């Protein structure tokens, strides 16, 4: 699979307690292993490797869908 350089990709992480979304890059989540909610202050543990895996899978599905649509246009 291609390297999409996802460390700079920003994700909005919702707080399970108050619902406030806090933006963090995948790279920062890898370094810090979590974040504090900007709304209520609760610490949110994250698995940045799993987040990156899910983002990569979504990007690949999008690329596959685009390729299928382009084939239909030819």
**pLDDT of 37-70, one tens digit each?**
999 999 998 887 777 788 788 888 889 999 999 9
Whole-model pTM?
Answer: 0.61
Helices (H), 1-74: 26-32, 48-73
- Could you tell me the sign of the dihedral formed by the alpha carbons of 12, 20, 45, 29, in that order? positive
pLDDT band at 2 (very low <50, low <70, confident <90, very high): very low
How far is the C-alpha of 7 from the C-alpha of 39, rounded, in Å? 24
pLDDT band at 4 (very low <50, low <70, confident <90, very high): low
């Amino acid at each position: 699979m291609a390297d999409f350089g996802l460390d700079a990709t920003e994700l909005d992480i919702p707080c399970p307690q108050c619902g406030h979304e806090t933006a963090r890059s995948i790279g920062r989540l890898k370094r810090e292993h979590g974040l504090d909610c900007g709304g209520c202050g609760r610490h949110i543990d994250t698995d940045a490797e799993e987040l990156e895996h899910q983002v990569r899978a979504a990007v690949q599905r999008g690329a596959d869908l685009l390729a299928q649509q382009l084939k239909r246009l030819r």
